[in-house]
Structure 1
Amino acid sequence: MTPERLRALCLEQNGAVEDFPFGPDTSVFRVEGKLFALSSLDAEPLKVNLKCDPDDAVRLREEHPAITPGYHMNKRHWNTVDVTGLPDRMVRELIEDSYDLVVAGLPKAVRLRLDRP
């Protein structure tokens, strides 16, 4: 997975935008102002912080050495994912899951506008 592909996967989510509130080296991906992914796209290895259901977060960490508790994040709800250690399809699913968790917390009218009931 390349940094360009990781950025594209995040930005293909409905309503997703990228900004740089922590400086030019850290990409923050949001939907309706809410963070769903965070990455230093120039870093090696390439990693991304993603929101995760707490029960799934623990299971994923146990099953995949490339997934660890969220660096500088709430470790119960966030994982840091080394994308070089996982198949691209799994990274895509983890990004989509993070996005879906954030969207689920938005008001119903916003979810419907994003086509996510």
Structure 2
Amino acid sequence: MSKETIETYLARFKGSQSSYPFGPEALVYKVMGKMFALVSQLEEVQRVTLKCVPEDGAMLIGQYNSVIPGYYMNKKHWITISLNGELPEDLLYQLADESYALVASKLPKKDRVALDKQ
């Protein structure tokens, strides 16, 4: 999957906003101010970092060479995936969905209500 494809997919989530808070190296996707994805920009092999359930992350890290603990993130709750074609596209989409859902579910009630109205 290309970097552009995953960026387009991440941008479609309700309330998704992207910015470069860490500089041009990383495009960060947030929902109501909380990060749910980060896409590398200047690397030869592009990567996406997503939030995940710790048990799922550990399983994926053990199963795929292209999945490592979150790069510069909490290694228990985030995974970094090299976009080199090893991970099936449908699984990558599912992981993006789950990352968004995990972050959105932890938002304060007022933010969840505001998000539902968007």
- Whether 2:36 is the aligned partner of 1:31: answer no
Partner of 1:99: 100
One-letter amino acid matched to 2:10? C
One-letter amino acid matched to 1:97? E
Greater mean deviation of Cα atoms: 23-32 or 102-111 = 102-111
Percent identity, please.
Answer: 39
Shift of 1:32: 0.4
Specify the SS of the correspondent of 1:24.
Answer: coil
One-letter amino acid matched to 2:45? P
Q: What is the number of residues matched between the two proteins?
A: 115
1:1-117 → structure 2 map (5 Å cutoff): 1-84=1-84, 85-115=86-116
One-letter amino acid matched to 2:27? S
Shift of 1:104: 0.8
RMSD: 1.4
Specify the SS of the correspondent of 2:13.
Answer: coil
TM-score by length of 2: 0.89
One-letter amino acid matched to 1:44? E
Structure 2 regions of 5+ residues with no counterpart?
none
Deviations along 1:90-116, whole A, 9 cap, x unmatched? 11111111111100101234324434x
The 8 Å contact of residues 15 and 114 in structure 1, kept in 2 or not, is answered as yes
Deviations along 1:42-69, whole A, 9 cap, x unmatched? 4221111111111111111112221111
